[in-house]
Amino acid sequence: MRISKSSNMKSFISPKLFLILAVFFFSCNQSKQNDSVTEKTDSGELDRTILPIPEPPFGGKIGETYKDSKEEWPKLVTPPQGAPNVIIILLDDVGFGQVSTFGGPVPTPELDKLAANGLKYNRFHTTAICGPSRAALLTGRNHHNAGSGFLAEWATGYPSYNCMIPKTTATSGRILKGNGYSTSWFGKNHNTPDWETSVTGPFDRWPTGLGFDYFYGFNAGETHQYYPVLFENTKAVEPDKSPEQGYHFMTDMTDRAINWLEYSKSVAPQKPVMLYFAPGAAHAPHHAPKEWRDKFKGQFDKGWDVVRQETYERQLKMGIIPKGTKLTPRPDWVTPWDKLSADQKKLFARLMENYAGYLSFADHETGRLLEAISKLPDADNTLIFYIVGDNGASSEGGMEGTVNEIKALSGIATPLADNLKHLDEIGNPNTEPHYPVGWAWAGNAPFQWVKQVASHFGGSRNPMVVSWPKVIKDKGGMRSQFVHLIDVLPTVLDASHLPAPKTVDGVEQKPMDGVSFLSTFTDKNAKPVRTRQYFEIFSNRAIYDNGWVAATQHTFPWRQDFAPGNWDKDKWELYNIEEDYSESVDLAKKYPEKLEELKTIFNEEAKKYNVYPLDDRGTGRLISPKPTPSDPKRKHFTFYAGATRLAETASPNTKNKSHSITAEIELKSKSDSGIIVASGGSSAGFALYVQNGKLVYHYNYFDDARYVITSKEALPVGKSTVRFDFAYDGGGTGKGGTGKLYINNKLVGEGRIDKTVAARFGIDTFGIGEDTGSPVAYSYKLPFKFTGKIDKVNIDLK
C-alpha cells in the first residue's frame, strides 16, 4: 500500500472494500470483552511474555458437517484496556541550549506549546551519536548490548560494533505490534547495516523487518532534504515533485505521517497506534527553505560567545537549569568571536541563520503532526515523547564551517574563500551546509563539549518533553530525575500494561537495560529510577553513579587525522553533578579515591554491556572492509538496466585504484541521451552519460573541482561499446589519475583527474540508466534516464 500526501481513503481502497472493512472493524469494536485476548479465556490469562502470542485452542466444535459443528473465529489480539497511543518524536543533532523551550535562541513554538501542557525533563540523556541512540531508544537496551556501539558506516566485526541489531533485542515496533498496535516509522532509519540498505536486502533489519507495519523514509545517517533517497517499506520511491516545485522532505514526511495516522484511526478507531517520527532535521545538510532562513537574518551577528551567554541566562531565568549552575568557559578549540575576521563572521553567522531556519521549520512541521494528533477522538490518551536531539549539537562542520559537509566529514577543510563563493546559496539544493564548531559549543550551553563526546553532557544531555493529557496533570512541570533513552521503551510498556517479552519469534530476549520512569509523570519527587549509567562513543567514556560522574574525553569529532590507540594517556575528570549541574568543577585531584572507584565501575559496566574492544580509528575504520552482497574479493561486476539505488558500500568500490567501466548500449536516434552509470551525487561522485550526442565522464570532487572528459566524436546510431578507463597514479589514497574514453575501442577523449575521493562520495547511491537522489552534475536534469537501450554495464577493478 502506497500512501501519498495527496491521498485520501478513497485512493487506498475501493468504496465497496472500504464499506466491508468499516463494518468488520465496527463489529470488532462492539464485540464483547470476552472476545478479546486481553481478557481471560477458558485457558486463563494470556501470556504476553511470548510473542507472537500463542493462539488459544479452538473453542468451537468440529462435526462431520456444518450442521453438527460450531464455528469460532481466532480472537483478535488487542492491547490491554486503556493502552495509550504512543508517539515518539526524535529530532536529529540538536543541542541542549538550542530550542527556545529550553532557553535556546531558536524559536520552537510548537514544542513550547506541548511543554506547557506536559512535562519538561532537564536530565535526559542520549548516547551522544545518532545510530547508537536510536538503537537504545528502539530496543530499551544499551547501544553496545544492541549491537550498535557506533555508526553503521564505521562498523567492525565485533558483536557490539557490527551494527546489526540482534534478534535478542526486539524493538518497540515489534513488541507493540505483537500486542495489537498499529505501528509506523517515518523519516530517518540509521539502524540498518549500511551494506543491507539496497533494494536487494536482506530486509529483516529494515524497519518493516524490525516490527513496524509501515515505513516511509531514508536508510542512512542523513539525506538531502531536496533530493532524498527514499523508500516506502522496502521499495525505492522518488519524491512526487521537484525542489523547484516546492519539495522538501520535512514537509513530505509530515504529510505522510498525518495521512497514515488519520487513515488508521478512520478504519480502526479503537486500535491504538505507535508512530515513530524521526526527521532528518536538524542534521546536516542544513536545508532550510529560503523564507525560513530569512527570518533569522542578522540575529547571530553578535557571535557565539554572546549567544551562549544569553542562552545560559535564559535557562537560569526559566528554571531550566538549577540556581547556581555555572556556565562552563570557552575551550581553547573555539576561537573568540571578536578574534574572527569580518569575512569569517559573515560566513559563520549566515551558516547559523540557516541552521536556525531549518530547526524552526522542523518544529513548525512537527507542529502539524501534533495538531493532527490533538484532533483524534482519543487524543487525551495519547502518550507523546518529544526528544529534542539524539545527541548534542554537532561540530562536524569543522572549525570553519562548510557548504559541503561530506567533505568536512572526510577530514578535508574548505578554505574560507571557497565557502564565501556560495554565501547567498547556503541552504539551497546545490549546497550541503554545516555550521562551524563554535556554534555547536554555543548550542550545548551550559555544558562542555559536543556531539560524539559521550564523556560530557554537551554530547549526551538532551531536552525531552512528555505529554499525556489523561495522566499528566502538572502542566508545564519540570522533572529532574536522571533518565536515559533506554528507559523510554520500558516506560511505554509500563504505560500500556505490557510486560517485556521473554521470547520473540522463538528467540529468547535479553533483559531490558532500561527502567520505567512512569512514576515521574504523576510525582515530581519520585525516587530516582536510574542511579548508574555508562557512556562510550569513539573511546570518549564516562560513568554516572549516584550523583557522581567520572569522564575522559579521547577524540575530537571534527578531526579524522588523529593518531589512535593512546588510551593510557587519557585524563579522567570527576564531577559531583548533584551540586555541579554543568560539570564545571573537576574534583579528580580532590577526591582521587572516588575517581578510582568510578573507573572500576566503568570497567565493570563496560564488560557487562560489551563495550570492549575500544576503537578510536577514524577514516581507517570508515574504509575498512565490510560485508557485501557479493564476494569481497570480486573484481568483475556486471549490471543490467534498472539496477538502481544500490548503496555505495554495496556497489563496486572504484576508489583509490585503477578501473574500467564498459557498457553495451544502443542509440535509436542521434537525440538519445541519459545516464549510463552514476554513483554519488552533488556532494561528490561520478557519472558516465550521453549528452548532445557525445559520451561524457564527469567526476565531482566535493563540488570543489569538477573534471569533465567529453568525446571528440559523436556516438553512432545503433549498437556501440563504450568504455571509460581510469589509470590511478598511486602513492596513497585520494590521489589523481588519467581518464580515457573509448567508443568501439577507439580513443575519443582523454583528461586528468587531479584529485579523487578516498572514502565516501556521500549519502547518494549507485545506479544504471538514471541518476537518483541529488545530481552528480548540474549539466542535466534529474533523473536523466537513458532514452536509448542499455544491455549491460561491466565494471572491472584493477
Q: What is the pLDDT of residues 59-101, one digit of tens each?
A: 999 999 999 999 999 989 999 999 999 999 999 999 999 999 9
Provide mean pLDDT across the span 207-217. 98
Concatenated DSSP letters for 47-105? -TTEESPPPPPP-SB--SSGGG-B--PPPPP-PPTTPPEEEEEE-SS--TTTBGGGT-S
Q: What local confidence, expressed as pLDDT, does residue 42 receive?
A: 30
Mean predicted confidence (pLDDT) in 627-638:
84
Mean pLDDT confidence for 294-320: 99
At residue 42, φ and ψ (nearest 5 deg) are: -60, -25
Q: Is the confidence at residue 26, as pLDDT, over 50?
A: no
Helix (H, G, I), strand (E, B) or coil at 173: helix
Q: What pLDDT score was predicted for residue 561?
A: 55
Q: Helix, strand or coil for residue 622?
A: helix
Q: In this structure, are residues 355 and 282 in contact, taking their beta carbons and an 8 Å threshold?
A: yes
Which pLDDT belongs to residue 51? 98
Specify whether the CB–CB gap between 257 and 277 falls below 8 A: yes
User: Residue 131: its pLDDT value, please?
Assistant: 98
For the chain, domains (ranges, CATH) are: 9-68 (no CATH), 85-543 (3.40.720.10), 544-622 (3.30.1120), 636-797 (2.60.120.200)
Average pLDDT, the chain: 93
Q: Is this model's pTM higher than 0.85 or not? A: yes
Amino acid letter, residue 577: I
Instruction: Give the pLDDT confidence score for residue 628 in this predicted structure.
Output: 77
Cell numbers at 218, concatenated: 531514508
In the chain, pLDDT over 90 holds for what percent of residues?
Answer: 87
Is the confidence at residue 31, as pLDDT, over 80?
Answer: no
Contact by Cβ (8 Å): 515, 507: no
- CA distances to 117, 303, 497, 720 from 465, rounded to whole Å, are 10, 29, 22, 62
pLDDT in tens, 727-767: 999 999 999 999 999 999 999 999 999 999 998 999 999 99
Buried b (16+ CB within 10 A) or exposed e, 551-566: bbbbbbbbebeeebee
Cβ-contact 513, 532 below 8 angstroms = no
Count of Cβ atoms closer than 10 Å to residue 776 Cβ: 29
Query: Angle at the Cα of 758 (from 755 to 761), degrees rounded to 5?
Result: 95
Find all residues with CB under 8 Å of 118, minimum gap 6, and list them: 384, 465, 466, 467, 468, 472, 475, 476
Which pairs with CB-CB distance under 8 Å and at least 24 residues apart come from 492-496? 492/86, 492/172, 492/176, 492/383, 493/175, 494/518, 495/83, 495/84, 495/86, 495/383, 495/468, 495/471, 496/79, 496/80, 496/83, 496/84, 496/86, 496/176, 496/179, 496/272
Among 539, 96, 582, 565, which residue's Cα sits nearest to residue 329?
582
* 374-428 pLDDT tens trace: 999 999 999 999 999 999 999 999 999 999 999 988 888 889 999 999 999 999 9
140, 151 contact by CB (below 8 A): no
* Mean pLDDT in residue range 630-640: 88
pLDDT of residue 369: 99
pLDDT beyond 60 at 130 = yes
Alpha carbon distance 671, 714 (integer Å): 11
Residue 1: pLDDT band by 50, 70, 90 thresholds?
very low
Compute the distance between CA of residue 700 and CA of residue 707 in angstroms, rounded to an integer: 7
Please give the backbone phi and psi of residue 679, each rounded to the nearest 5 degrees, phi first.
Answer: -145, 135
Three-point CA angle 199, 202, 206, nearest 5°: 80
pLDDT at 709: 99
Burial class (CB in 10 A: 0-12, 13-18, 19+), 73: exposed
The pLDDT of residue 618 is 81
pLDDT digits (tens, 9 = 90+) for 150-172: 999 999 999 999 999 999 999 99
pLDDT band at 17 (very low <50, low <70, confident <90, very high): very low
Stretch 233-243: mean pLDDT, rounded?
Answer: 95
- pLDDT reading at 103 higher than 90: yes
Beta strands at 705-714 and 214-218: parallel, antiparallel or unpaired:
unpaired
What are the pLDDT digits (tens) for 260-303?
A: 999 999 999 999 999 999 999 999 999 999 999 999 999 999 99
Whether the pLDDT of residue 36 is over 80: the answer is no
320: left (phi over 0), alpha (psi -120 to 50) or beta: alpha
What does the pLDDT read at residue 25?
41
CB-based contacts of 707: which residues, under 8 Å, 6+ apart? 698, 699, 701, 739, 751, 752, 753, 754
- What would the grid cell of residue 692 be? 548532445
Average pLDDT, integer, range 526-537:
97
Task: Please check the confidence at residue 329 and state whether its pLDDT lies above 50.
Answer: yes
Confidence of residue 22 (pLDDT cuts 50, 70, 90): very low
**Could you give the CA distance from residue 317 to residue 311 in angstroms, rounded to a whole number?**
10
Q: Evaluate whether 173 touches 212 at the Cβ level (below 8 Å).
A: yes
Tens of pLDDT along 538-585?
999 999 999 999 999 999 888 765 556 789 899 999 999 999 999 999
Give the phi and the psi of residue 700 in degrees, each rounded to 5.
Answer: -105, 110
Among residues 500, 473, 496, which one has the least CA distance to residue 486?
A: 500
Would the CA dihedral through 437, 681, 279, 192 be positive or negative? negative
